[in-house]
A and B are shown apart, each in its own frame.
Chain A
Amino acid sequence: EAAVTQSPRSKVAVTGGKVTLSCHQTNNHDYMYWYRQDTGHGLRLIHYSYVADSTEKGDIPDGYKASRPSQENFSLILELASLSQTAVYFCASRGTGGMDTQYFGPGTRLLVL
């Protein structure tokens, strides 16, 4: 199975602080995604990227930035963390050429105080 790793696995941040979540994949996948999951709910797409040095807005991009410095790495940046951004964040990657399956990383549990 495709390998996607995330760091940190958990983080406590202060309101107004900057938070960077990192994702790394070793599968040579073109597409990478950032989702957030709130307790008891489904995943919602924040940002995605299909090539290095380019990112696209997902369904809930406000308050988040993304960076794709290389094919393998995709970061999610919270410039001014807020209480409402407390959630679990999942990164995923997907190949192309009819390969639809998204493979998810283990998640990062973020608590903003």
Chain B
Amino acid sequence: GEQVEQLPSILRVQEGSSASINCTYENSASNYFPWYKQEPGENPKLIIDIRSNMERKQTQGLIVLLDKKAKRFSLHITDTQPGDSAMYFCAASGATNTGKLTFGDGTVLTVKP
């Protein structure tokens, strides 16, 4: 199977600064890496994803980087706002067509005004 490690588990940043979350995976055949944001009492919502044929993807203040050699991927939130405070999960999906996702344990991000 796949194992995904996510760090840090808790992250506190000042409003306007950047926040970075890092994930590592074990299965070199994994080819799809989504990031989800989950607010308290809500379901996880996809915020950005990257496939193994890319190294970098950016959308609306979010940047995701993928280093396949190191089996590492990361999420960078630029110019953080209090509304960015939430739980963030990384996940990895293997090479099969099943789409099975293995999730990290999450990062609680708090953006201080």
Give the interface of A toward B (CB within 8 A).
31, 33, 40-45, 48, 50, 56, 58-59, 90, 94, 96, 100-107
A7 to chain B, nearest CB (A): 14
Knowing that A59-B100, A100-B51 touch, tell me 8 more A-B residue pairs with CB under 8 angstroms.
Answer: A31-B98, A33-B99, A42-B91, A43-B44, A45-B100, A100-B99, A105-B43, A107-B42
Alpha-carbon distance A99/B1, docked complex (angstroms) = 22
Which applies to chain A's interface (DSSP): helix, strand, loop or mixed?
strand
Alpha-carbon distance A20/B108, docked complex (angstroms) = 31
**Chain B contacts for A40, CB-based, 8 A:** 105-106
**Chain A contacts for B97, CB-based, 8 A:** 50, 96
12 interchain pairs (CB within 8 A)?
A: A31-B98, A33-B101, A40-B105, A43-B44, A45-B102, A48-B98, A48-B100, A90-B44, A100-B34, A102-B46, A103-B46, A106-B43
**Chain B contacts for A96, CB-based, 8 A:** 97
A85 to chain B, nearest CB (A): 19
Interface size class of B (residues with CB under 8 A): 20 to 34
Give the interface of B toward A (CB within 8 A).
1, 4, 6, 32, 34, 42-46, 49, 51, 89, 91, 93, 97-106
Alpha-carbon distance A41/B89, docked complex (angstroms) = 9
**Chain B contacts for A107, CB-based, 8 A:** 42-43
**Chain B contacts for A58, CB-based, 8 A:** 100
Say whether A43 contacts B103, CB under 8 Å: yes
B54 to chain A, nearest CB (A): 13
**Chain A contacts for B42, CB-based, 8 A:** 106-107
Say whether A100 contacts B49, CB under 8 Å: yes
A20 to chain B, nearest CB (A): 20
Say whether B98 contacts A101, CB under 8 Å: no
Alpha-carbon distance A101/B1, docked complex (angstroms) = 20
